[in-house]
Chain A
Amino acid sequence: MPPGVPGGAASAAGLSRRWAVGFLTPAMLLIGVFLAFPAIWTIYLGLTDFRLLGPQALHTKFVGLGNYQQALTGGDFLHSLYITVVYVLLSAVIGQCVFGFTLAWVFRQWKGPLRRVMESLIIVAWIVPGSVVAFLWLAYLQGNIGPLTETGTLNTILGGIGLNWWLQLPMLSIVIFNIWRGTAFSMLLFGAAIQAIPPSYIETARVAGASGWQLIRDVVIPRSRGHILTNLLLISLWTFNDFTPFLLTGGGPGNQTQFLPVYVYQQAFQQGALGYGAALSTLVLLINLLIALAYMRILKERR
Chain B
Amino acid sequence: MAEGTLPAAPPAADTRWLVRAVIARVQLYVFIALVAAFFALPMAWLVLSPFDAHPTLVAGLAHPTLANFADMFRNPAVRGSLLNSVLLALGTMVVVVATAALAAYALSRVHVPGHNVILYVLLLFSSVVTGSAAMVPIFLLAYDLHIINTITGVVLVLAGGLLPAAIFILKDFMDSTPASYEESARVFGAGPFQILRDIVVPLVRPGLAVIAVWSMVTVWGNFLTPFILLRDPSLTPASVQIYSFYSAGGTANLRLISTFGLLYTLPVVVMYLVVQNRYGFRFYGGIKH
Q: A residues near B, CB below 8 A?
A: 2, 11-17, 19-21, 23-24, 26-28, 30-31, 33-39, 41-42, 45, 50, 103, 106, 114, 118, 121-140, 142, 147-148, 150-154, 156-157, 180, 185, 188-189, 192, 208-211, 214, 230, 234, 237-238, 241-244, 247, 260-261, 264-265, 268-269, 274, 277-278, 280-281, 284-285, 288-289, 292, 296
Contact = CB atoms under 8 A, between A and B. Distances in A.
Interface in B167-192: 167, 179, 182-183, 185-187, 192
Contact of B131 (A37, A214, A241): A241
Nearest to A189: B285
B contact residues, range: 35 or more
B77 to A, nearest CB: 14
B73 to A, nearest CB: 18
A13 B39 contact: no
B134 A281 contact: yes
Contacts of A148: 57, 251-252
Contacts of B59: 153
A243 B224 CA distance: 7
B66 interface: no
B179 A12 contact: yes
A285 B133 contact: yes
B230 interface: no
25 contacts: A2-B187, A19-B106, A19-B192, A20-B106, A20-B109, A23-B105, A23-B106, A30-B160, A34-B156, A118-B36, A125-B43, A127-B217, A128-B43, A130-B223, A132-B242, A140-B41, A148-B252, A150-B56, A151-B57, A156-B58, A210-B1, A243-B223, A264-B132, A288-B130, A292-B128
A147 B249 CA distance: 8
B257 interface: yes
Contact of B133 (A127, A189, A208, A241): A241
Given A12-B183, A131-B242, A45 B192 contact: no
A137 B44 CA distance: 11
A136 B45 contact: yes
Interface of B: 1-3, 5-6, 28, 31-32, 35-36, 38-46, 56-59, 95, 98-100, 102-103, 105-107, 109-112, 122, 124-141, 156-157, 159-161, 163-164, 167, 179, 182-183, 185-187, 192, 195, 217, 220-221, 223-224, 228, 238-240, 242-243, 246-247, 249, 251-252, 257, 261, 264-265, 268-269, 272, 282, 284-286, 288-289
